[in-house]
Amino acid sequence: ASRPAPGRPTAEDRDTGDVTDTAWTPEPYTPPDAATQQRRWRIMAATAAVAVVGIALLSAWLLGAFSDPTDDRPLPAQLDAIERAAQQSRSSEAAATESPDADADAGGETDDGEEAREPTTPVEVSDAAPWQPSSSPGNAENAASAGNVIDGDASTTWSTDTYRDQFGDGPSAYKPGLGLMLTLDEAAAPRRVVVRSTDDIQFEVRAADSASPTSLDDTRRLGRGTVSGGSGTVDIDDPEESEYLLVWITRLDSSGPQAYRATVSEIVLTR
């Protein structure tokens, strides 16, 4: 039977309570022999070699991913070129964000290269007459003073009658609207229409094929505007060449209870 290490209590001693205070002394460390030590160093060296080879292979793969096989320049030069291209791209994007309207910054040119200009050339008008659809009640009022809107004198005016109800399509409306039909000296495509009035009114600009169309459906709307503060301007996005232009008043000004009226002093056309 094996004997316990010197100084270590046995199970019998613990059962009987006969335990001494002798301290336990561990066995002394015995270093491995030379063969064992050599095997350990070989294992560590092999592991380190495998790690170095793996890192080298990974680095080669990464460098190959970033390099261009058709580029004879060294890899650092290729990487520098890539970085410069990226910086230029970011600079271009930032410039586009700060100036989204490149055409306007380039001198006000349109998409087709033509320079945008203000419509300042006058379009001559030879006649003006009140007009309403044949289905509207009453008549086109105050025809004698209609020419005042094209005489160049702001002190002369044309006015509608005074109505108890507002223009519109509602059951209480007497008329859907009332217009001034302008006859041009020759067919033209106005790009801007200015209506001057002391009243706050709303209107549409329409092209017509004759001076006396039967219905509003026989005209084509080019734009709409509001007179406020003495004048209202309509810039026509898609000008249409025509010899007749209708300024169709759709909303009157109110001068009191059940008193609706519109007064126009001048209508100016430019292209």
| Of 180, 181, 178, the residue nearest 167 (C-alpha) | 178
Residue 147: Cβ within 10 Å count: 15
* Three-class secondary structure of residue 169 per DSSP: coil
Q: Which pLDDT belongs to residue 65? A: 58
Element holding 129 (H helix, E strand): strand 125-131
* Cα 100–chain centre separation: 9
Segments of the chain with pLDDT less than 70 = 1-30, 32, 59-116
C-alpha distances out from residue 2 to 5, 10, 17, 145, Å:
9, 12, 21, 139
* Residue 162 contacts residue 260 (beta carbons within 8 Å): yes
Q: What is the DSSP string of 61-88?
A: HHHHHHS-TT--S-HHHHHHHHHHHHHH
Q: Which pLDDT belongs to residue 58? A: 76
* Residue 214 contacts residue 266 (beta carbons within 8 Å): no
Tell me whether strands 125-131 and 202-208 are parallel, antiparallel or unpaired.
unpaired
**What letters, b where the CB count within 10 A reaches 16 and e where it falls short, cover 149-165?**
bbeeeeeebbbbeebee
Q: Which pLDDT belongs to residue 73? A: 61
* Residue 79 contacts residue 65 (beta carbons within 8 Å): no
Provide the terminal-to-terminal Cα distance of the chain, rounded to the nearest Å: 125
Classify the C-alpha dihedral 78-82-83-85 as positive or negative.
positive
* Residue 191 contacts residue 205 (beta carbons within 8 Å): no
